[in-house]
Amino acid sequence: MQPAVIAPSILSADFAKLGEEVDRVLAAGADWVHFDVMDNHYVPNLTIGPMVCEALRRHGVTAPIDVHLMVEPVDRLVPDFARAGASLVSFHPEASRHVHRTIQLIRGEGCQAGLVLNPATPLDVLDHVLEDLDLVLLMSVNPGFGGQAFIPSTLDKLRRVRERIDASGKPIRLEIDGGVKPDNIGAIAAAGADTFVAGSAIFGQPDYAAVIARMRDAIAG
Ligand code: DX5
Ligand code: ZN
């Protein structure tokens, strides 16, 4: 398994001072910036686009930016995000007519590619593409909003994806997104996740470093 990555979701940050918030959370020990893009079409919410990603790069953010696209269709936005400085681009298979083509497009633009599985999306979407992916992102809530409760059946799904990744022998990351907190992250790590998105659990507390430290302790078991 690869070293644990903590990727705070800026969906729960204070957008009026986003650059400062990202600086603070990275200084507090975060590894990546999780960047939730919602289009009021694939999901019932509307957030931020490539301009904001580019603004964070211009602000001086050098950490990986982990773009989670909850948009439909996906392909047209991929080059825009690559130009804006995205490091990883993940998308939902339901939002792409040609999943393999979208993966190739993301990698062709020089980004790492991730596929996102909703709570009710079966694992067989991974069947013919797993080895082409850099990351599998399991949603542990239905996409669209921060602050929802972790869906417990995701733990079993994590174990099953972990087995498939290990069997592939490839360094594919297994990311979890939704309802991740210091008190459940240990069980989530034990089930096989190595990359942890947390929005409200981090940005909802005054001391980001303290939450991240608690999370790292729980991951280490
Ligand atoms: C939900 C987003 C998540 C969200 C997580 O659709 O993909 O990244 O911000 O927020 P919390 O950690 O509050 O569940
Ligand atoms: Zn997300």
How crowded is residue 98: how many other Cβ atoms within 10 Å of its Cβ? 11
Question: Which atom of ligand 1 is least distant from the CA of 68?
Answer: 7
> What pLDDT is stored for residue 134 in this prediction?
98
Q: Are 200 and 183 in contact (CB under 8 A)?
A: no
Residue 68 marked ligand-binding: yes
pLDDT at 71 over 90: yes
> What pLDDT is stored for residue 212 in this prediction?
98
* Average pLDDT across the chain, whole number: 98
Cα 163 to chain centroid, rounded: 20
* CA-closest residue to ligand 1 atom 10: 146
Residue 145 marked ligand-binding: yes
Active site residue 124: no
Dist. CA 159–CA 189, nearest whole Å: 10
Region of residue 39 (phi > 0: left; psi between -120 and 50: alpha; otherwise: beta): alpha
**pLDDT tens digits, one per residue of 30-62:** 999 999 999 999 999 999 999 999 999 999 999
Question: Which atom of ligand 1 is least distant from the CA of 198?
Answer: 12
Question: Which atom of ligand 1 is least distant from the CA of 139?
Answer: 7
- Among the listed residues 178, 196, 200, 174, the one whose alpha carbon sits nearest the alpha carbon of residue 186: 196
Q: Ligand 2 centroid to 192 CA: how many Å? A: 18
**pLDDT tens digits, one per residue of 17-32:** 999 999 999 999 999 9
Considering 132, 177, 207, 217, which one is annotated as catalytic? 177
How crowded is residue 81: how many other Cβ atoms within 10 Å of its Cβ? 24
**pLDDT tens digits, one per residue of 103-127:** 999 999 999 999 999 999 999 999 9
> What pLDDT is stored for residue 103 in this prediction?
98
- Residue ranges near ligand 2 (ion) with Cβ within 5 Å: 36, 68, 177
pLDDT at 1 over 90: no
pLDDT at 200 over 90: yes
Return contacts of 170-173, CB within 8 angstroms, 24+ apart.
Answer: 170/130, 170/131, 171/2, 172/130, 172/133, 172/134, 172/135, 172/136, 173/2, 173/5, 173/114, 173/134, 173/135, 173/136
Task: Please give the C-alpha separations between residue 136 and each of 42, 45, 59, in angstroms, as whole numbers.
Answer: 19, 23, 29
| DSSP of 133-190 | -SEEEEESS-TT-SSPPP-TTHHHHHHHHHHHHHHHTS--EEEEESS--TTTHHHHHH
Q: ipTM score here?
A: 0.99
Domains of the chain: 5-220 (3.20.20.70)
